[in-house]
Structure 1
Amino acid sequence: MSYLIGVDIGTGSTKGVLTGPDGTLVATARRDHAPTFPQPGWAEMDAEQDWWGDVVAVLRELTTAHPEARVAAVCVSGLGPCVVQTDAELQPRRPAILYGVDTRATAEIDEITTRLGADAILVRCGKDLSSQAIGPKLAWLRREAGDAWQPQDRWFSAHTYVVARLTGEWVLDHHTASQCDPFYDIQLQDWATDWVEAVLPGLALPRLVWPAEVVGNLHAEAAAATGLAVGTPVLAGTVDAWAEAFSVGVRRPGDLMLMYGSTMFFVQVLTAPTSVRGLWTTSGVERGSHTLAAGMATSGIITNWLQELTGGVPFDTLVCEAAAVPAGSEGLVMLPYFSGERTPIYDPLARGVIAGLTLRHQRGHLLRATYEGIACGVRQIVAEFEAAAGQPARVVAVGGGTQGGLWTQIVSDVTGLSQQVPAQTIGAAYGDALMAAIGVGLVPAETDWAQLDHTVQPNPATTSTYATLFRTYAELYPATRRQVHRLARSVQTTDGGE
């Protein structure tokens, strides 16, 4: 039998799966890592160690544990869009810059928007320039490097860096390219080379491919490092959220995925590309497809912060305490803007706010208020999706945050949405394995490995409470924005930041 390997480079870990062509899970492997935040507004990772090193370790563990398995193909996805600059030998010149949580390129966003025009960018690229876009990050790197940026230098996202290390091929999948604004034309699904030259003259561009395409074969050096056979086909892969959506069957127009992870992420399949201010229209996973997307800057990562803050209490204990707290957290509301915010406010200077604290509030209240604050953000974003593309045909919840059920129930209660939860929430790596199976022809292109486990329904008893909470949540940001911005700028000045 032929087997498939899918590997996903996430914000907090790299996970790999070995599957059969029918989706049967044979083995898993994991390596933990974490981003660094060297300055306010900066979020980085070590591409050599955290991306390549962890993928090698995961592949080596899977192949060592099952030496009899004949691996037919490998597909890698990764957090993104990110960018790392390398020399011609694929050695990183500096730490990789992460996706929208890294807001260092604010000046470049403003400059490029002024030069090209906000409306023109929205129409051609399908979204406004924001901290999520790769173009401004590349402009920041070019400016920072000055004459040190060499003509032979290359740039990669997380998964494409690994693909290059495995195969020597420099490629970028259409989905990730469509987040390289303003350098990709969403209507033509091709590079906007005139805008590349206008913003970064002479910038070399990778070859465009679709995520489930075989782009190269494992070379001898990579085979020795990973334990895989020389010549093993390697697929392009894509950004992790889209691989995860693919893993749970979010592939038809109207399907919406809510991903409960370090950040809350949204992907909805479209019938046709659109341009909606505040949301991101992108190319999808399957050839010629389009999706609408949005993302919050911090979600699940706040629960990790809270667990550490309260002395490392077992997380199950925290969840039980939060579940015992009434809806509304007894007068507590949180703005979950701990790293600024992407959708819906696009404010890199936004910060977390916890309002209504009293001496009776305990750590369980704080965790419930965290979930409820994130759920209010979800409600705002879903309303924008509905205005842009109509009510979703179905909503599928994925990610580690679906385990236990409290967070998903609160989101359903606050938003009024029913959510389907798959039987397996293995994640993006499982979608990578499916793409690998499709890409080498082991299964038909329409194959779907997802199986539904249960549906989370809104609890009508909480409707009134959460309507009041949501109104307070929506009012709190504009009411505190001026003061929070002042605080954020004071820290940047003190730390020598932006």
Structure 2
Amino acid sequence: MGVAAVVGIDIGTSSSKGVLVDLDGRVVRSATREHEVDRPRPGWVEMDAEIWWQEFVDLAQELLAPGDAHVVAVGVSGMGPCVLLTDDAGTPLRPAILYGVDVRSTPQIARLNERFGADEIMRRCGSALSTQAAGAKIAWVADAEPELFQSARRVFMPSSWLGFKLTDQYVLDQHSASQCTPLYDTDNRDWYRPWATQIAPDLVLPPLHWPGDVAGRVTAEAASVTGLPAGVPVIVGTIDAWSEAISVGAQGVGDLMLMYGTTMFLIHTVPTRLASPSLWGTVGALPGTRNLAGGMATSGAITAWLRELFGSPDYPQLLRLAELSGPGARGLLMLPYFAGERTPILDPDARGILAGLTVSHTRGDLYRAALEATGLGVRHNIETMEAAGGDIGRIVAVGGGTQGKLWTQIVSDITGRVQLIPSQTIGASYGAAFLAARTVRDVSIDEWNPIKEVREPRPEYAADYDELYGLYRQLYDGSKPVLHVLTARQTRLSAEPQPAALEEPCSEGVTP
């Protein structure tokens, strides 16, 4: 029968990841499927939900193929908050609209603020309306695609979609619901029906449970497709960043999780409800917990973009070049707002800037500037959290960006904060596996995933980075009007017919 183990699978922005973990926390096997999101227009980010299920099936089959483990529970998580609308049978009606990187709902945000009152939304929901809010995205579909919306009966996120496909149960976790502003009442921890019925009168909102609760059990049909045993429990699951925080034990009051991924995410656990117009006040992933959270729209997405522009060298090479560049990237400063920005500026029309560029700058300088831009954004978020009443005592880092020492070191140098790096930084899939294991055994994340490294800030760089941070804040404030005009031009141009690509080859000896 093999070793008793759990499966954890996460649907992320750029890939889906799965782990097979024994009940002592050891990773038996891992697997990944890379994918791309669709960007049909500037500011729109979508994905076909059938890809989520197919990648889950592929990952499960790969993890279980050797037959050396007996699966006793299944964990799921996924990017979010997303909006996948389906009919009553759960058949998707359109591609899912992704989280705050999709900024199409700006008009709906303005209208809902006017209808319900921005202050009242903040009071009842814990967060201001922003492009992160799933409720505003639902309102966009109602406005832009009314015929389709008339057929919509259910709403899913990646984790709840996987749970539905595995168990035939329609449920959502409390944390994900708390990011469905303005549909959720954060004090009562339930849907706020008076507003929900105005925004989506025909949607049947799912029953709410905690991420570690059992959503249901693997059906015979799902077992035949995935290779998972029929009848084993499947947890409700949650949004990937919160599963990442679980994976490294960053759930105590005062803890802050930094997630180094395609986007950067920050989750601070607070003793009582805190609210900030520049952050997201949410229900936590564990019963009784509260969070102040922030998220940058791009971080690893910028480094991946630069890598492609540079001809796809490997990341270790780029990190070596960035380290040679040194603090300050030889006079470069980047704004990381390449897909607008979420917290703390909440500006979907912001755009990226690379300032100070000369012909003498190198790939290493540009790559270093991108890493430093993330650190500067993290510092801005941390200062905003503490200004809102947060008290950060411990920072735990997780995600693919922790694999090389340089990026985490830069963030510690810029913020002046110590970061703890655990043994397993796989992230959300490992957190989902841990929650699944808790359904069959009393397990501890501190035993599963102890701290392995400590990243200390280097005081000799503090003055330089303080100056750079001041310039970072000035650069956005000073360039904001220009960036908004450029964003409007991009939107207008994207709606115009594009010229056909040149089909004739260039003349010999002429470089295109």
TM-score under structure 2 length normalisation? 0.94
Mapping of residues 6-405 of structure 1, within 5 Å: 6-49=8-51, 51-65=52-66, 67-150=67-150, 153-405=153-405
Q: Output the amino acid matched with 1:159.
A: S
Aligned length: 494
1:260 deviates by: 0.7
Report if aligned partners of 2:85, 2:152 keep a CA contact under 8 Å in 1. no
Report if aligned partners of 2:270, 2:390 keep a CA contact under 8 Å in 1. no
Who is 1:453 aligned against? 452
Who is 1:2 aligned against? 4
1:30 deviates by: 1.3
Report if aligned partners of 1:339, 1:350 keep a CA contact under 8 Å in 2. yes
Matches of 1:353 and 1:410, distance apart in 2:
19
Bigger Cα displacement from structure 2, 376-385 vs 189-198:
189-198
1:446 deviates by: 7.5
Return 5+ residue gaps in structure 2 as ranges.
497-512
1:107 deviates by: 0.6
Report if aligned partners of 2:318, 2:364 keep a CA contact under 8 Å in 1. yes
1:237-283 per-position Cα deviation (integer Å, ceiling 9, x unaligned): 00000001001011110010011110110011111112221111111
TM-score under structure 1 length normalisation? 0.97
Matches of 2:325 and 2:418, distance apart in 1:
22
Matches of 2:151 and 2:87, distance apart in 1:
9
Q: Output the amino acid matched with 1:472.
A: L
Matches of 1:45 and 1:37, distance apart in 2:
9
Matches of 1:476 and 1:329, distance apart in 2:
16
Matches of 2:126 and 2:334, distance apart in 1:
31
Report if aligned partners of 2:249, 2:446 keep a CA contact under 8 Å in 1. no
Q: Output the amino acid matched with 1:278.
A: S
* CA RMSD between the two structures: 1.4
Who is 1:491 aligned against? 490
Report if aligned partners of 1:21, 1:443 keep a CA contact under 8 Å in 2. no
Who is 1:422 aligned against? 422
Matches of 2:354 and 2:148, distance apart in 1:
45
1:153 deviates by: 2.4
Matches of 1:304 and 1:494, distance apart in 2:
25
Report if aligned partners of 2:85, 2:154 keep a CA contact under 8 Å in 1. yes
1:441 deviates by: 3.3
SS in structure 2 opposite 1:115? Answer: helix
Report if aligned partners of 2:73, 2:440 keep a CA contact under 8 Å in 1. no
1:475 deviates by: 0.1
Matches of 2:443 and 2:397, distance apart in 1:
25
Q: Output the amino acid matched with 1:255.
A: D
Matches of 1:382 and 1:448, distance apart in 2:
28
Who is 2:506 aligned against? none
SS in structure 1 opposite 2:160? Answer: helix
Matches of 1:390 and 1:280, distance apart in 2:
12
Bigger Cα displacement from structure 2, 144-153 vs 337-346:
144-153
Report if aligned partners of 2:247, 2:445 keep a CA contact under 8 Å in 1. no
Who is 1:475 aligned against? 474
User: CA 1:494/1:288 → structure 2, altered by over 3 Å: closer, same or farther?
Assistant: same
Matches of 2:45 and 2:149, distance apart in 1:
21
